[in-house]
C-alpha cells in the first residue's frame, strides 16, 4: 500500500477520498486554488498545497503544478477523483514518468475510451452492441444525419457530462446544433470533433460498475439507473435499477465485462448503456454509449447496496493487489437512491446560482442516510466550479423504504443564502410516476410543468411563516422582557388602540415583484392580507432557527435564516427567499420591460448571434454565455431593433451587466 496520497481534486469527491485514505492509514495531501483556500477538503487533509488562481485551467487542470505538489509533499500516489485530470491520458503518463502511481487505468485505456468514436468502433469489434450512428472520423455529418433520421443526438467526441451534446429534431436545426456543440466541446475539452447517433425514444440510462485488477480478473458490481437527467446531466440515481429482470442484468453484466477486457483495463470504470424500454424491460435491447474510466459521482449507491468501499478497492488494485472478491462473492442487498443537491434554479431552466451559504445544515447521517459534501456553512458557491453542494444518499431494505428515507432527509435539509434544487428533488420524490418506477430519460422533460408547479405549492404557507418571524422579531425588540407574548396586542409596535383595528404593514420583494402584506391583530392571532390572499397566524414559536406556527388551522414546522435584509424560510423542502424592503415604497425596473438584456450571472460571452441595427423577434437568440461549465442562450425580451453594443466574443461579464438593448421598432 502507498504511504502518501495526493488528491488532485476538490469539493465533495476530494473529501470522500481523503476519508477512506485516512482510514487506511495513508497521509493525505490536498491541492487548492485561490477560491478554495479555506475549503473543506483543505481543512480535512493532513497537508494542503496551493496550486494557482481560481479558474480550473490555472490550477486543477495544470498537470505540472499537480506533479510539483506531489514531489513537494513526497506523495507516492495521486488520486484524480472525477473531472479535471481524471480522464487525461497525458497526465496518467506523466505520473508514470515521475514514478508516482496514478489511481486509475492505463493511459492507453483512457485514450481509447475518451474518444467516443474510437470507443464505439472498439466495442463493435468486441461484440458489444452500440447505438446506430455515424462515428467514423471525417464523414459528412449533415449527410449522415439525413441517412440516420431524426430525432438524433449530436455529441462531442471527447469529454462527457452532457457538454457538447444537443438533441436535433429536424434538418432545420442541425447546423445551429453543430455550431453550438462545437463551441461548448472546444471550451470544455479543447476538442471540437463531433459524432451523431440515433435518438432512442423511450429509453433508460443504465450503467454497470466494473473493476479490473492487474492479474487478469474483471468483475461487475451490478447496475445503477441514471435515467433522471436534466441537460444530459444526472439528478437522481438508483441502485439497483427498478424492475430489472435477472436475465437482462446478467446480459448487461457480461457485456460490460467483455467491454472492459477488450481494452486491457485496470481499476474502477463504468460502462454506460441505453436500454430501449419502448416494449418493457423484459428482453429489452441495450446499447453501449460510452465508458467512464474513473470513479463516478454516483458511486455511493453502489457502495450502499454492496457494502464495498470503491475507493479502497481503487487503492488496493493500484498497489498491485488482486480484487478482494470474486464475482459470485459480491452481494446485492437492499436499495439506494442518490439525489444531487445543486445550487441552481430548476424553475429557470436549471440556471446555476452563486452566493454564500448563510445556512447549511444537512440531515443527520446514519444507517439510512449518507451525506457527501465539500462545502460547509459560511462557504461560497462561485462561478469557477460545478454548483453541486452535496450528494444525499438514502438506503433501505426496499426501494419504498429508501424513497421514504430520501423524502424525510430532503425535508430536514436546511440551506439558505442561495437558491437550490431541494424543492425540485422533493417534488420528484413525491411524483406518482417516480414512486411507481415509471421512469425513462425523458421523465423530467415530460413532467416539467407538474414538478415546477409542485415546487411552489407551499408559497402561501412560507409567506405566512416569514411574516411570523418578522413580526415576532419586531415585537421582541420593542418588548425584550422575558415572558412577553409577541402576539399580544399590548406588545404591538404600531398604532394599536383598544376597540380599533391595529395593523402593521410588512414590505417585501418576492422575485421581481413587490409584496406588501397587511398584518391585522386580535387578542390571539394575526390576520395577514396580500393581493387576493389571506392567512391567519396563531401559536408562533421560534427557537434555534426553527419555526412552528398554526396557519389557517394547520400546524406547520420549518426553518428560517436571516441575512441582513433577506429572510429565507424552509418547509417540507420548499424554500422561499424574501427581501425586506424599507417602509417607503421604492420603484425599480424589471430589467426586461425596457428592452434591456442583462447577464443573470457572471460568465464569458461565447457567441454573438445578432448585429447592431438588426430587427429581432421576441424570444430570438441574441448571444450565448458560458457560466459555471454550461452554455446559456440569452434571448430577446421583445420584438425590436438591436441598438449598438460594445461586448465582444470572449469578454468576461458581471452579474446583471447590461449586454444589449432592444429598442422598439420606429413608427412608420
Per-residue pLDDT tens for 59-99? 999 999 999 999 999 999 999 999 999 999 999 999 999 99
Q: Measure the N-to-C terminal CA separation of the chain; round to a whole number of Å.
A: 80
Angle 107-114/116-125 helices, nearest 10 degrees? 100
- Cell numbers 417585501 correspond to 508
Burial annotation 375-393 (CB, 10 A radius, 16+ → b, else e): bebebebbbbbbbbbbbbb
- So what CATH class is 334-456? alpha beta
CATH code for the domain defined by 132-198:
3.30.1490.20
- Is-contact 208 223, C-beta < 8 A? yes
Could you please state the CATH topology (level 3) that the domain comprising 459-580 is classified under.
Glycoprotein, Type 4 Pilin (3.30.700)
Query: Is the peptide bond preceding residue 240 cis, with omega within 30 degrees of 0?
Result: yes
* CA distance linking residue 320 with residue 433, whole number of Å: 46
Look up 294 and say whether it is catalytic. yes
Name, in order, each residue with C-beta under 8 angstroms of 404's C-beta and a sequence gap of 6 or more. Answer: 396
* SS3 label, residue 505: strand
Fold: same for 201-331 and 334-456 = yes
- Is-contact 357 377, C-beta < 8 A? yes
- Is-contact 352 627, C-beta < 8 A? yes
User: What's the pTM?
Assistant: 0.82
Could you please state the CATH topology (level 3) that the domain comprising 596-663 is classified under.
OB fold (Dihydrolipoamide Acetyltransferase, E2P) (2.40.50)
* Residue (of 629, 634, 548) closest to 595 by Cα position: 634
Could you report the per-residue pLDDT of 322-355, keeping only the tens digit for each? 999 999 999 999 999 999 999 999 888 888 898 8
* Residue (of 585, 639, 641, 631) closest to 611 by Cα position: 641
Q: Which residues of the chain have pLDDT under 50?
A: 482-500, 583-592
Outline where 79-115 has alpha helix (H). 89-97, 107-114
* CA distance linking residue 345 with residue 598, whole number of Å: 17
CATH code for the domain defined by 201-331:
3.30.470.20
- Is-contact 237 220, C-beta < 8 A? no
- In the Cβ-directed half-sphere of 420, how many Cα atoms lie within 13 Å? 31
Name, in order, each residue with C-beta under 8 angstroms of 279's C-beta and a sequence gap of 6 or more. Answer: none
Sign (positive/negative) of CA torsion 33, 34, 39, 45?
A: positive
* Residue (of 206, 125, 120) closest to 157 by Cα position: 120
* CA distance linking residue 96 with residue 107, whole number of Å: 10
* Residue (of 49, 60, 91, 95) closest to 76 by Cα position: 95
- So what CATH class is 4-103? alpha beta
Catalytic residue among 10, 16, 183, 294: 294
The pLDDT score that the predictor gives to residue 524 is 80
Q: Where are the domains of the chain?
A: 4-103, 132-198, 201-331, 334-456, 459-580, 596-663
- Is-contact 225 287, C-beta < 8 A? no
Amino acid at each position: 500500500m502507498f504511504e502518501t496520497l495526493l488528491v488532485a481534486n476538490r469539493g465533495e469527491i476530494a473529501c470522500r477520498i481523503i476519508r477512506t485514505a485516512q482510514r487506511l492509514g495513508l497521509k493525505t495531501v490536498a491541492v487548492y486554488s485561490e477560491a478554495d483556500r479555506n475549503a473543506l477538503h483543505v481543512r480535512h487533509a493532513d497537508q494542503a498545497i496551493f496550486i494557482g488562481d481560481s479558474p480550473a485551467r490555472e490550477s486543477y487542470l495544470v498537470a505540472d503544478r499537480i506533479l510539483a505538489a506531489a514531489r513537494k509533499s513526497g506523495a507516492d500516489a495521486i488520486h484524480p477523483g472525477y473531472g479535471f485530470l481524471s480522464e487525461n491520458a497525458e497526465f496518467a503518463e506523466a505520473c508514470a514518468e515521475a514514478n508516482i502511481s496514478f489511481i486509475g487505468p492505463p493511459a492507453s485505456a483512457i485514450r481509447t475510451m475518451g474518444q467516443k468514436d474510437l470507443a464505439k468502433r472498439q466495442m463493435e469489434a468486441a461484440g458489444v452492441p452500440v447505438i446506430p450512428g455515424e462515428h467514423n472520423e471525417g464523414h459528412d455529418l449533415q449527410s449522415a444525419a439525413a441517412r440516420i433520421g431524426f430525432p438524433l443526438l449530436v455529441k462531442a467526441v471527447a469529454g462527457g457530462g452532457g457538454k457538447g451534446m444537443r438533441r436535433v429534431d429536424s434538418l432545420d436545426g442541425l447546423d445551429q446544433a453543430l455550431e453550438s456543440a462545437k463551441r461548448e466541446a472546444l471550451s470544455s475539452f479543447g476538442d471540437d470533433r463531433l459524432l451523431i447517433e440515433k435518438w432512442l425514444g423511450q429509453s433508460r440510462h443504465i450503467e454497470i460498475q466494473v473493476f479490473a485488477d492487474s492479474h487478469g480478473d474483471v468483475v461487475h458490481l451490478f447496475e445503477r439507473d441514471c435515467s433522471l437527467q436534466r441537460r444530459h446531466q444526472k439528478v437522481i440515481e438508483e441502485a439497483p435499477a427498478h424492475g430489472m429482470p435477472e436475465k437482462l442484468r446478467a446480459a448487461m453484466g457480461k457485456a460490460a465485462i467483455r467491454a472492459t477486457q477488450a481494452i486491457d483495463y485496470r481499476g474502477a470504470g463504468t460502462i454506460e448503456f441505453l436500454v430501449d424500454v419502448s416494449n418493457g424491460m423484459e428482453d429489452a435491447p441495450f446499447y453501449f454509449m460510452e465508458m467512464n474510466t474513473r470513479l463516478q459521482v454516483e458511486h455511493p449507491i453502489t457502495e450502499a447496496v454492496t457494502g464495498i468501499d470503491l475507493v479502497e478497492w481503487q487503492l488496493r488494485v493500484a498497489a498491485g493487489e488482486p480484487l478482494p472478491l470474486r464475482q459470485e462473492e459480491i452481494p446485492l442487498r437492499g436499495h439506494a437512491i442518490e439525489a444531487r443537491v445543486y445550487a441552481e434554479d430548476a424553475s429557470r431552466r436549471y440556471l446555476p446560482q452563486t452566493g454564500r451559504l448563510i445556512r447549511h445544515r444537512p440531515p443527520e447521517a446514519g444507517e439510512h442516510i449518507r451525506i457527501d459534501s465539500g462545502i460547509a456553512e459560511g462557504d461560497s458557491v462561485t462561478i469557477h466550479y460545478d454548483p453541486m453542494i452535496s450528494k444525499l444518499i438514502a438506503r433501505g431494505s426496499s426501494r419504498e423504504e429508501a424513497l421514504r428515507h430520501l423524502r424525510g432527509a430532503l425535508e430536514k435539509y436546511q440551506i439558505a443564502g442561495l437558491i437550490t434544487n431541494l424543492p425540485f428533488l422533493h417534488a420528484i420524490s413525491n411524483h406518482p410516476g417516480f414512486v411507481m418506477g415509471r421512469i425513462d430519460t425523458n421523465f423530467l422533460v415530460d413532467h416539467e410543468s407538474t414538478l415546477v408547479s409542485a415546487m411552489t405549492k407551499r408559497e402561501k404557507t412560507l409567506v405566512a411563516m416569514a411574516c411570523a418571524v418578522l413580526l415576532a422579531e419586531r415585537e421582541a425588540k420593542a418588548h425584550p422582557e422575558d415572558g412577553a407574548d409577541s402576539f399580544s396586542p399590548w406588545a404591538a409596535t404600531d398604532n394599536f388602540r383598544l376597540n380599533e383595528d391595529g395593523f402593521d404593514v410588512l414590505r417585501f420583494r418576492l422575485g421581481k415583484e413587490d409584496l406588501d402584506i397587511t398584518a391585522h391583530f386580535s387578542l390571539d392571532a394575526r390576520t395577514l392580507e396580500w393581493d387576493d390572499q389571506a392567512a391567519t397566524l396563531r401559536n408562533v414559536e421560534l427557537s434555534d432557527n426553527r419555526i412552528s406556527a398554526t396557519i389557517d388551522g394547520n400546524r406547520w414546522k420549518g426553518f428560517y435564516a436571516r441575512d441582513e435584509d433577506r429572510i429565507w424560510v424552509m418547509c417540507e423542502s420548499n424554500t422561499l427567499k424574501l427581501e425586506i424592503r424599507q417602509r417607503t415604497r421604492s420603484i425599480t425596473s424589471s430589467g426586461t420591460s425596457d428592452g434591456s438584456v442583462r447577464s443573470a450571472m457572471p460568465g464569458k460571452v461565447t457567441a454573438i448571434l445578432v448585429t447592431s441595427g438588426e430587427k429581432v423577434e421576441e424570444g430570438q437568440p441574441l448571444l450565448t454565455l458560458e457560466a459555471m461549465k454550461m452554455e446559456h442562450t440569452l434571448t430577446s425580451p421583445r420584438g425590436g431593433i438591436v441598438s449598438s453594443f460594445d461586448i465582444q466574443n470572449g469578454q468576461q461579464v458581471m452579474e446583471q451587466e447590461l449586454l444589449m438593448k432592444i429598442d422598439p421598432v420606429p413608427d412608420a
